[in-house]
Amino acid sequence: MALTGVVLMAATLLAYSVASVYYVGALYDLRRAAGAERATAAGWAAQTLWLGHRAWVLQGFPAVTLYDWVTFFTWLMVGGFLALAWAGRRGDAWTPRRSHIGSFLVPVLTLLELAAQLLFTGPASPFRRYPAWLPTHIFLVTLGDAAFLLAAVAGTMYVEKERELKHKRLRVFYYELPPLEVLDAWGARLVTAGVVLFLAGMVVGAIGSKADYGSYWNWNPKETWSLVSWSAYLAYLGLRRFAGWRGYRPAVWSMVAFLLVVANVFAVSLLFPGDHAYNI
Q: Count the neighbouring beta carbons within 10 Å of the beta carbon of residue 194.
A: 27
The pLDDT value given to residue 246: 93
Closest CA to 222 of 270, 269, 175: 269
Question: Looking at residue 219, what is its pLDDT?
Answer: 83
Question: What are the two backbone dihedrals, phi and then psi, of residue 40, each rounded to the nearest 5 degrees?
Answer: -65, -45
List the pLDDT tens digit at each of the 280 positions of the chain.
Answer: 477 888 999 999 999 999 999 888 887 777 777 888 899 999 999 999 999 998 888 888 887 778 888 899 999 989 888 877 675 555 544 445 556 778 888 998 999 899 888 876 655 555 556 777 888 998 999 999 999 998 998 899 899 888 877 777 666 555 667 788 988 998 999 999 999 999 999 999 989 888 877 888 888 888 888 999 999 999 999 999 999 999 999 999 999 999 999 998 887 777 776 666 554 4
Residue 134's nearest CA partner among 69, 188, 89 is 69
CA 177 to centroid of chain Cα atoms = 20
In 3D, which of 101, 82, 84 has the Cα closest to residue 39? 82
φ and ψ at residue 179, rounded to 5 degrees: -60, 155
Which pLDDT value is given to residue 89?
Answer: 55
Q: From the CB of residue 35, how many other CB atoms can be counted at a distance below 10 Å?
A: 16
Write down the pLDDT at residue 19. 93
Q: So what's the pLDDT on residue 98?
A: 59
d(CA 278, CA 202): 16
For every residue of 22-87, DSSP letters joined together read: HHHHHTT-GGGHHHHHHHHHHHHHHHHHHHHHHHHHHTS-TTSSHHHHHHHHHHHHHHHHHHHHHH
Question: What are the extents of the domains in the chain?
Answer: 66-271
Closest among 163, 174, 159, 177 to 247, alpha carbons compared: 159
CA distance 236 to 213: 33
- Rounded to whole angstroms, how far apart are CA atoms 171 and 150? 23
Identify the CA nearest to 217 among candidates 229, 228, 203. Answer: 203
pLDDT at 280 (0 to 100): 44
Residues 6+ apart with CB under 8 A from 208: 131, 133, 134, 137
- State residue 254's pLDDT score: 96
What helix, strand, coil percent values describe the chain, rounded to 5? 75, 0, 25
pTM above 0.85, yes or no: no
The amino acid sitting at 79 is: G
**Buried b / exposed e across 65-77, counting CB within 10 Å, b at 16+?**
bbbbbbbbbbbbb
Which pLDDT does position 269 carry in this prediction? 73
